[in-house]
Structure formats: C-alpha cells, structure tokens
C-alpha cells in the first residue's frame, strides 16, 4: 500500500513524492495521454500523406489519416452527425491534395455543399444528374481522359427509381475500374436498402460511418466493429473503413 496508509490523501501525497524523486533521479517522464480533438481546422493537417489526401486525425496515433482518392466511398450517419460538413471537408481535402482535380456535385441546389466549392458542374435534378453521370462514367473509362475526376453525391436515396438511378450505378462501376473517385452520402437508415444504387457503393467496402452503431460496420460494409458508444462521437467523428480495416477519425471543420 503506497505510503503505508489506507487514506487516499496520504497515498496521493506519497505518489507525488515518488514522482518528484524519480524526476530528480533522471527518469524520463511518460508521454501524456492524448485524445481526438472535437474541433480543429483543416489548416492543421498536411495536404498529403504517403501520396494520398488526408481525411482527418485518427485515434491510431492522433496524427493525420490518409484515404485513397479513387473508387467509391460512402458516407453514412444519423441526423446531426456532420454528414454535410464531412462532404465539404472531403472535397476540400481533394483540392488541397491535387488542385487540378475536377470536382463535380450531384445533389440539391439548396444544400450548403452546392455553394461551398467552385464545382466544375453541378446537377440538382434527376434529369441533370442522369446526363452528368453518363458523361462522367464515359470520361472515367476513357484512357485519354487527363487528370483526376471526383464526384460528390449528396442524399443518394433521393435518386432511387429516378432517371438518374441507372446512370449513377454505372458511374460507380466506372470509378471502381479507374483512378477516379465517387463519394456518395445518405442517412444511415437509407443505406439499409437493397436497391442496386445503394448496393453498388456498399459493395466497395469503403466508407465513413459517422456516429455509428456497432452493427453498422457489418450491415453496410461487411466489417465487424467493436462495441461503440455514440456519445464518444461528436459531429464530424466517425469510423473510416477500407477493405476490412478501420480507424476512428475526426474530420476538420471546412475552410
């Protein structure tokens, strides 16, 4: 019993004396225990890491966490989990990584995402989304296409059984076979649908699950997650899953 006393105050004083004695003896202090920040700015992140854009700060080492800028990525979460700001943050991360990336937006003209960046082109109606998706799928499969194409789709479920449904499925397939990227967002409950439009992104087994339940990894991306508590996930924090591996990541506030 430290200090020879059952009284907590005595033990605390003995612990303090022990610490001071160890410092005088030259013992190296243990590093502090850190934690993920609830908020920070994108300026605190590097533009690239290992040749990839940076998604945010992870709990693996409290350092920057990269993501592969090709194929498909789904973004899921309940209301008020930070899906909108996460889409903006991901698009801005791609801009910082490669300023020549051509960014396209499919979603709602009233969304903050539509006004947050200088998109090459936007499509906010199903007919426009269908036309743009067809053109981009063709460009992604064309070997003569120069540079990187990145497409952000917001509220993917809104395009179910519309004229844009099939073209977006083909766009996702084209991205998986190329070096281009399609990011699609929807509320977690919408991703539970078995429609091909949702399934094509879930089959990519890569995505950001904001404020997830433990079962969401299995249901959406076929990846088992440990027990999770939603109160551990402020807005903008989630589990990023890629090919069966995962990490908790806090995304930065958009610029």
> Which tens digits make up the pLDDT trace of 88-117?
999 999 999 999 999 999 999 999 999 999
Position 174 in a domain: yes
The angle that helices 126-140 and 165-176 make with each other, rounded to 10 degrees, is: 20
Position 58 in a domain: yes
Instruction: Write the secondary structure of 72-120 as one string of H (helix), E (strand) and C (coil).
Output: EEEEEECCCCCHHHHHHHHHHHHHHHCCCCEEEEECCCCCHHHHHCCCC
DSSP the chain: -GGG-S-HHHHHHHHHHHHHHHHHTTPPPPPP-----S--BGGGS-SEETTEEEEEEETTTSSEEE--SSEEEEEEE-TTSSHHHHHHHHHHHHHHH-TT-EEEEES-TTSHHHHHS--SEEE-SHHHHHHHHHHHHHHHT-TT--S-EEEEESSGGGGTTSTTHHHHHHHHHHHHTSS-EEEEEEEHHHHT--SHHHHHHHTTTEEEEES--TTHHHHHHS-------GGG--TTEEEEEETTEEEEEEPPBP-
Position 36 in a domain: no
What is the structure's pLDDT at 2?
84
Position 255 in a domain: no
> Which tens digits make up the pLDDT trace of 175-215?
999 999 999 999 999 999 889 999 999 999 999 999 999 99
Position 171 in a domain: yes
Surface-to-core class of residue 65, CB atoms within 10 Å of its CB (0-12 exposed, 13-18 middle, 19+ buried): buried
What is the structure's pLDDT at 155?
97
* Domain residue limits at 77: 44-250
> Which tens digits make up the pLDDT trace of 16-74?
999 999 999 999 988 888 899 999 999 999 999 999 999 999 999 999 999 999 999 99
Position 153 in a domain: yes
CATH of the domain at 69: 3.40.50.300
Position 13 in a domain: no
| Radius of gyration for the alpha carbons in the chain, expressed in angstroms and rounded | 22
Question: The whole model's pTM is what?
Answer: 0.87
Total structural domains within the chain: 1
Backbone angles phi, psi at 74, to 5 degrees: -100, 150
Residues 136/168, Cβ–Cβ less than 8 Å: no
Residue from 66, 217, 47, 74 nearest 155 by CA: 74
Position 23 in a domain: no
Q: How far apart are the C-alpha atoms of 220 and 193, rounded to whole Å? A: 10
């Amino acid at each position: 019993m430290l200090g020879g006393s059952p009284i907590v105050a005595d033990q605390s004083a003995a612990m303090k004396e022990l610490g001071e004695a160890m410092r005088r003896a030259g013992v190296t202090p243990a590093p502090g225990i850190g934690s993920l920040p609830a908020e920070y700015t994108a300026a605190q992140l590097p533009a690239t890491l290992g040749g990839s854009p940076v998604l945010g700060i992870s709990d693996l080492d409290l350092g920057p966490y990269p993501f592969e800028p090709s194929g498909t990525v789904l973004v899921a979460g309940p209301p008020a989990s930070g899906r909108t700001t996460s889409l903006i943050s991901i698009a801005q991360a791609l801009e910082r990584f490669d300023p020549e990336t051509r960014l396209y937006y499919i979603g709602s003209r009233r969304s903050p995402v539509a006004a947050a960046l200088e998109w090459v082109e936007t499509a906010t109606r199903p007919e426009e989304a269908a036309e743009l998706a067809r053109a981009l799928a063709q460009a992604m499969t064309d070997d003569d296409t120069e540079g990187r194409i990145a497409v952000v789709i917001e509220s993917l479920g809104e395009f179910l059984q519309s004229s844009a449904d099939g073209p977006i499925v083909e766009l996702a397939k084209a991205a998986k076979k190329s070096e281009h990227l399609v990011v699609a967002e929807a509320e977690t409950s919408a991703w539970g649908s078995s429609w091909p439009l949702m399934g094509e992104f879930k089959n990519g087994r890569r995505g950001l699950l904001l404020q997830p339940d433990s079962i969401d990894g299995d249901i959406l991306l076929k990846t088992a997650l440990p027990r999770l508590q939603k109160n551990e996930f402020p807005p903008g924090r989630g589990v990023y899953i890629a090919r069966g591996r995962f990490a908790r990541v806090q995304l930065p506030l958009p610029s």
